[in-house]
Amino acid sequence: MGSVQIAAALLVGGACEWLHRVIGERLPASRVLLVRALVAAVVLVPVLGERWSFAAVNGAWIEETVRNVQRDPDIVAVLEPLRGLPAGRVYAGLRTNWGERMDFGSTFRGIHFYDVITEVGLDPVRPPSYSFSLNSDLIFDLNESRPGDLQVFNARYVIAPSTLAPPADWRPVKAAGRYTLYAVATTGYAQYVAVAGRIQPASQAELLQWNRRWLASGDPAAGRYLRVDWPRVNPAPAAEGGCPQPAYESERVGPDRFEFVVSCPQGATLAIKSTYHPNWRVTVDGTEQPTFMVSPSYLAVAVPAGRHTVQAQYVGAPYKVPLAVLGVAVLAAVMVLRKRIEERLDGLAGYVRGRMAREPGPRGQSLK
Longest dimension (CA), the chain: 90
Q: Looking at beta carbons, which pairs linking 57-62 to residues 24 or more positions away fall under 8 Å? A: 61/106, 61/107, 61/108
CA separation for the pair 347, 341 (Å, rounded): 10
Q: Quick check: 197 and 183 in contact, CB under 8 A? A: no
Q: Distance of CA 173 to CAs 134, 139, 179, 232, 300, Å?
A: 32, 24, 11, 44, 32
Query: How many Å apart are CA 129 and CA 111, to the nearest integer?
Result: 12
Q: What pLDDT shows up at residue 356?
A: 77
Cα angle, residue 94 at apex, residues 90 and 100 outer, rounded to 5° = 115
Count Cα atoms within 13 angstroms, Cβ side, for 295: 33
Cβ neighbours around 109 below 10 Å, total: 12
Judged by DSSP in three states, 297 sits in: coil
Say what the pLDDT of residue 361 is: 56
- Residue 296: the pLDDT is 95
For residue 182, give the amino acid letter.
Answer: Y
In angstroms and rounded to an integer, the radius of gyration of the C-alpha atoms of the chain is 29
Q: What's the CATH code, domain 191-314?
A: 2.60.420
Distance (Å, whole) CA 247 – CA 279: 27
Q: Is 77 helix (H, G, I), strand (E, B) or coil?
A: helix
- What single-letter DSSP state applies at residue 112? B
* SS3 label, residue 343: helix
DSSP letter assigned to residue 365: P
pLDDT along the chain (368 residues), means of 10: 89 86 80 82 87 93 89 91 91 92 82 87 86 86 94 96 94 95 96 96 94 96 96 90 95 94 97 95 97 96 97 89 90 86 83 76 50
Domain ranges (residues) in the chain? 2-70, 73-183, 191-314, 320-358
